[in-house]
Amino acid sequence: MPLDLLIVTLLRRLVEVAGFFLLGQGVLALLAGKQRQQNLFYSVLRVVTTPIIKVVRYVSPRQVIDAHIPLLTFFVLFWLWIALAFAKRSLCAAHGLQC
């Protein structure tokens, strides 16, 4: 496997994992309600997703409310995943591979 294709594939998998962790955190927040801060699994998911949310908070305009940042983070990860899928497809075509 060519190195550039490997890097794009690994990045895509990392974005997938981050998106699933963020989605899991959101579902658990809905299920646990106000008691989510005491939930062990919610805390683990929050540890993983906090750096990604902070990056999106840093690059987003100040007019975006802090409560909307996790949802915005999920959409950014989704579109990044789509962009990496297109990049992988074009790299596969450039190398003559069937991916």
Q: What is the mean pLDDT of each run of 10 residues along the chain (99 residues)?
A: 94 97 94 89 94 96 94 97 97 92
Q: 22: domain range?
A: 3-95
Structure confidence by residue, pLDDT tens digits, 42-58: 999 999 999 999 999 99
6: CB partners within 8 A, 6+ apart: none
Q: What is the pLDDT of residue 94?
A: 94
Q: What is the pLDDT of residue 1?
A: 82
Q: What is the model's pTM?
A: 0.88
Q: What is the pLDDT of residue 8?
A: 97
CA–CA distance, 16 with 51 (Å, rounded to integer): 15
- How many domains, the chain? 1
